[in-house]
């Protein structure tokens, strides 16, 4: 009863330059920890092998240290690993894979599927039909060769490929590296393990994308999992069990604030997120000066609590209420300036007017506090 772990799209060597240096480094480290977790899960679930369906590396030019660390992270699971080149780490004549071999970094139990064909893992009861990418983009279905590849009848027949199942994925449909939707059927596969789509997704009862084990972008597509696949015997339907692997949760929210309760609901949702979160906010609409102060305080708390939070408030207009202006004692000329800046938020220099209004409100508040001391 062969059982294996299906994973893909590790994207090792990926940089997170949009984040603060400390946060980017933590996100990079989480990807190495994900490999170590995969090895532990393979042991815990008594898997016979680990199959990696492409894009182990994010680029051909990753550092030698990254290459060595990737293979070091696999050591806890001593069974066979089969690694397939994807579009980011295609099996070129000179590639990250040839460099890994020159470095002597590849352990004996790691099989690199650098050429099309079959890797027979007879002790594990598995025959792995491999369709590696030998260039970044192809326009023919490399899995078509699976139809003619012969494997021992006693072994579970598993396809391993990286590309886009045509007409099924919600985006990038009919992209390069196409894969026939019913390839498992035409090639008599017990299971087809796919990579390239970064979320866990079932195509049919024998075909799955595992997704990336550690999210690396803001897409609500079920990233952060690996799949344990159990095939009782050749021809039997596989039992597929998703296992959570992610350290960090990524959340991207686009919110329009119109009334005070909108802000309160947003802050409640933010408070409910786990500490190991990466959050990207873009706020639009309008907010009072009191609401702006509440928002700034909440974001300050969140910065210390989450792994990362970024908030774009350029589309959020400040709309001082009569109570706001009265609290600031902004009468006379100062009140006129506040009203002028409020109106200017409708023009091309909206962001500058918004910032000026916020600064002026802050100065008035500081002056009021000093006067009361």
Lowest mean pLDDT among 17-26, 30-39, 171-180, 201-210: 171-180
Q: Residue 209: pLDDT above 50? A: yes
Domain(s) of CATH 3.60.21.10: residues in the chain: 3-244
Q: Residue 371: pLDDT above 60? A: no
Angle at 77 between CA 23 and CA 189, to 5 degrees: 100
Contact of 159 with 191, CB cutoff 8 Å: yes
> CA separation (Å) from 71 to 42, 57, 110, 278, 351?
15, 11, 9, 27, 48
> How would you class 204 by CB atoms within 10 Å of its CB: exposed for 0-12, middle for 13-18, buried for 19 or more?
middle
Summarize the confidence of residues 319-337 as an average pLDDT.
58
pLDDT of residue 319: 75
Summarize the confidence of residues 285-306 as an average pLDDT.
91
pLDDT of residue 173: 47
> CA separation (Å) from 266 to 115, 142, 289, 291, 304?
51, 47, 17, 12, 18
- The predicted model scores a pTM of 0.86
Summarize the confidence of residues 34-40 as an average pLDDT.
98
pLDDT category of residue 80 using cuts at 50, 70 and 90: very high
Nearest by Cα to 227 from 194, 196, 184, 189: 194
Summarize the confidence of residues 333-344 as an average pLDDT.
60
Q: Residue 330: pLDDT above 60? A: no
Contact of 299 with 272, CB cutoff 8 Å: no
pLDDT of residue 288: 84
**Tens-place pLDDT, residues 278-292:** 999 999 998 887 888
pLDDT of residue 174: 45
Strand, coil or helix: 280? strand
Place of tokens 């039997």: 236
How many angstroms from the chain centroid is the CA of residue 352? Answer: 34
**Tens-place pLDDT, residues 151-178:** 999 999 999 999 999 887 765 444 678 9
Task: For domain 3-244, give the fold.
Answer: Purple Acid Phosphatase; chain A, domain 2 (3.60.21)
Average pLDDT along the chain: 89
List, in sequence order, every residue forming a beta bridge with 127; answer none if it has no partner: 120, 157
Place of tokens 């090639």: 187
**Tens-place pLDDT, residues 347-365:** 656 667 666 666 555 555 5
Q: Residue 344: pLDDT above 90? A: no
Cα 125 to Cα 229: distance, rounded to the nearest angstrom? 13
Q: Report the C-alpha dihedral over residues 269, 271, 276, 279, rounded to 10 degrees.
A: 50
**Tens-place pLDDT, residues 66-77:** 999 999 999 999
Strand, coil or helix: 27? helix
Across 288-373, where does the E strand assignment appear?
A: 308-318
């Amino acid at each position: 009863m062969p059982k294996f772990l299906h994973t893909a799209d590790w994207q090792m060597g990926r940089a997170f330059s949009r984040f603060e240096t400390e946060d980017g480094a933590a996100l990079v480290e989480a990807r190495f920890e994900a490999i170590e977790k995969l090895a532990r899960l393979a042991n815990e679930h008594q898997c016979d092998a680990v199959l990696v369906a492409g894009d182990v590396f994010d680029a051909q030019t990753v550092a030698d240290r990254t290459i060595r660390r990737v293979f070091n992270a696999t050591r806890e699971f001593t069974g066979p690993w089969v690694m397939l080149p994807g579009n980011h780490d295609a099996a070129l004549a000179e590639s990250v894979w040839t460099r890994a071999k020159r470095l002597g970094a590849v352990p004996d139990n790691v099989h690199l599927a650098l050429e099309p064909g079959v890797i027979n893992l007879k002790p594990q009861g598995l025959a792995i039909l491999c369709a590696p990418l030998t260039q970044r983009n192809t326009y023919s279905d490399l899995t078509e060769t699976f139809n003619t590849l012969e494997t021992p009848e006693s072994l579970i027949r598993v396809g391993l490929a990286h590309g886009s199942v045509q007409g099924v994925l919600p985006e990038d449909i009919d992209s390069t590296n196409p894969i026939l939707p019913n390839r498992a059927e035409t090639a008599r596969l017990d299971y087809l393990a796919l990579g390239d789509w970064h979320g866990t997704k079932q195509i049919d009862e024998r075909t799955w994308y595992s997704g990336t084990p550690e999210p690396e972008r803001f897409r609500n597509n079920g990233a952060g999992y690996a799949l344990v696949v159990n095939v009782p015997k050749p021809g039997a339907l596989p039992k597929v069990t998703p296992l959570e692997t992610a350290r960090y949760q990524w959340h991207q929210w686009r919110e329009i604030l119109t009334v005070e309760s909108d802000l309160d609901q947003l802050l409640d949702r933010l408070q409910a997120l786990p500490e190991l979160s990466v959050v990207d906010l873009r706020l639009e609409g309008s907010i009072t000066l009191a609401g702006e102060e509440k928002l700034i305080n909440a974001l300050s708390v969140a910065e210390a609590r989450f792994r990362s939070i970024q908030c774009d408030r350029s589309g959020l207009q400040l709309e001082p209420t009569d109570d706001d202006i009265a609290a600031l004692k902004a009468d006379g000329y100062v009140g006129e300036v506040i009203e002028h800046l409020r109106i200017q938020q409708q023009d091309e220099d909206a962001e500058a007017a918004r910032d000026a209004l916020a600064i002026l409100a802050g100065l008035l508040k500081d002056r009021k506090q000093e006067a009361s001391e």
